[in-house]
């Protein structure tokens, strides 16, 4: 007599009893805990930071040397390796490390778990971890960097491998990797609200990448707003950073004319950075709703924020700033609470 497990209908009967279950969805806390061991990602740009990714500046900065000074831009620059440094002298690496260490201490003093990612020894920009990825609900979208040096391993192209290895090591889900001809760096992505994000079009971010990011966010029910930056502006975090659920610091000179109206429609109060320190002020980061870390060289904008009820912690970042990026550029939150 034929046994049931030898019957051609066997698997149909068995599988009918153990059907796959698409819900709860991937991003739900229950599924995150069950599969990944914890909840990963962010819901917005101001929820309390629990875990952040950083890279301590180190020997990779030794590639920046004084013989590369170009008086026409009053900076050191290497067109082949794709870096620049706003000084006549090479980096003060101990000074940069001291500033970075102080920033890390502020994070830890506020209960943040700091995870360090290894940097490419040929990549002086490795400290700017923000650009390596776009963190969303449930995981990360790995960026595809714009600058490609003539020598293998130079330029920012290649950082993708370092962050991919690190997030895989700590167990964070990778929801997508920008591929094909897509270009996008994390400094050009931000959440405005839980359900509205913005992404910048510039020399460092193109439509091919925007479509890929939109595909991920569509699944999560998040609208993605495209923001064309002006001139050769690089990233959106030089133009706007959220400081509370309903407040943002902005540099309107880098944004299209209609953007302020859009913020108003979303119920977000635009706090204009003071013209005397706007370039330093906007590149800040929210530790939690209404509490931020900002460059100490932006006192006028800090005063404006304080008057609006935002708590401002200031820290020195002068030496690190010479490399073209600020506090926001140097930090990539991997986990924020929904608060």
Residues 50-60: tens digit of each pLDDT: 999 999 999 99
Model-level pTM?
0.96
163-183 average pLDDT score: 98
Nearest-angstrom CA–CA distance, 122 and 185: 19
74-97 average pLDDT score: 96
43-68 average pLDDT score: 97
Chain segment 291-304, per-residue pLDDT in tens = 999 999 999 999 99
C-alpha distances in angstroms, 24 versus 15, 17, 34, 129?
20, 19, 11, 32
The band of 1, judged by pLDDT with boundaries at 50, 70 and 90, is low
Res 37: pLDDT: 96
Res 6: pLDDT: 78
CATH architecture of structural domain 37-57+95-336: 5-stranded Propeller (3.75)
253-277 average pLDDT score: 96
Residue written as token pair 């500033």: 99
Tell me the DSSP string of 195-244.
TEEEEEEBTTB-HHHHHHHHHHHHHHT-EEEEEEPPTT---GGGTEEEEE
Q: Which two tokens stand for residue 73?
A: 């831009």
224-238 average pLDDT score: 94
Res 7: pLDDT: 79
243-256 average pLDDT score: 96
**How far from the centroid of its chain's Cα atoms is residue 70's Cα?**
30
Report the half-sphere exposure of 35 (CA within 13 A, side-chain side).
14
Q: What is the DSSP letter of 255?
A: S
* Percentage of residues of the chain with pLDDT beyond 70: 99
* Percentage of residues of the chain with pLDDT beyond 90: 92
Res 4: pLDDT: 73
Res 9: pLDDT: 83
Res 13: pLDDT: 85
Mean of pLDDT over the chain: 96
Residue 10 has pLDDT above 90, yes or no: no
Bridging pattern class, strands 75-78 and 189-193: unpaired
Number of neighbouring beta carbons within 10 Å of residue 299: 17
42-49 average pLDDT score: 98
């Amino acid at each position: 007599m034929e046994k049931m497990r030898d019957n051609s209908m066997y698997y149909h009967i068995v599988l009918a009893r153990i059907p796959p279950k698409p819900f709860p969805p991937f991003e739900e806390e229950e599924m995150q805990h069950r599969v990944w061991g914890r909840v990963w990602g962010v819901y917005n740009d101001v929820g309390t930071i629990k875990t952040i990714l950083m890279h301590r500046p180190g020997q990779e900065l030794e590639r920046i040397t004084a013989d590369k000074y170009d008086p026409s831009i009053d900076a050191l620059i290497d067109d082949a390796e794709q870096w620049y440094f706003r000084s006549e002298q090479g980096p003060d690496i101990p000074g940069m490390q001291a500033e970075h260490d102080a920033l890390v201490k502020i994070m830890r003093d506020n209960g943040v778990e700091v995870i360090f990612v290894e940097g490419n020894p040929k990549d002086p920009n490795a400290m700017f971890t923000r650009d390596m990825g776009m963190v969303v609900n449930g995981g990360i979208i790995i960026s595809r960097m714009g600058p490609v040096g003539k020598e293998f391993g130079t330029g920012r192209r290649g950082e993708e491998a370092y962050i991919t290895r690190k997030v895989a090591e700590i167990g964070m889900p990778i929801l997508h990797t920008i591929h094909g001809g897509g270009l996008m760096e994390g400094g050009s992505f931000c959440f405005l609200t839980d359900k509205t994000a913005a992404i910048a079009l510039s020399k460092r971010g193109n439509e091919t990448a925007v479509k890929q990011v939109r595909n991920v966010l569509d699944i999560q029910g998040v609208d993605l707003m495209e923001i064309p930056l002006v001139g050769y502006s690089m990233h959106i975090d030089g133009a706007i950073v959220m400081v509370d659920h309903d407040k943002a610091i902005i540099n309107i000179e880098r944004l299209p004319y209609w953007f302020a109206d859009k913020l108003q429609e979303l119920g977000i109060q635009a706090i204009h950075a003071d013209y005397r320190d706007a370039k330093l002020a906007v590149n800040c980061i929210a530790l939690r709703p209404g509490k931020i870390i900002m460059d100490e060289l932006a006192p006028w904008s800090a005063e404006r924020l304080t008057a609006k009820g935002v708590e401002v912690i200031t820290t020195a970042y002068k030496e690190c700033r010479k490399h073209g990026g600020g506090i926001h550029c140097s930090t990539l939150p991997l986990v924020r609470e929904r608060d």
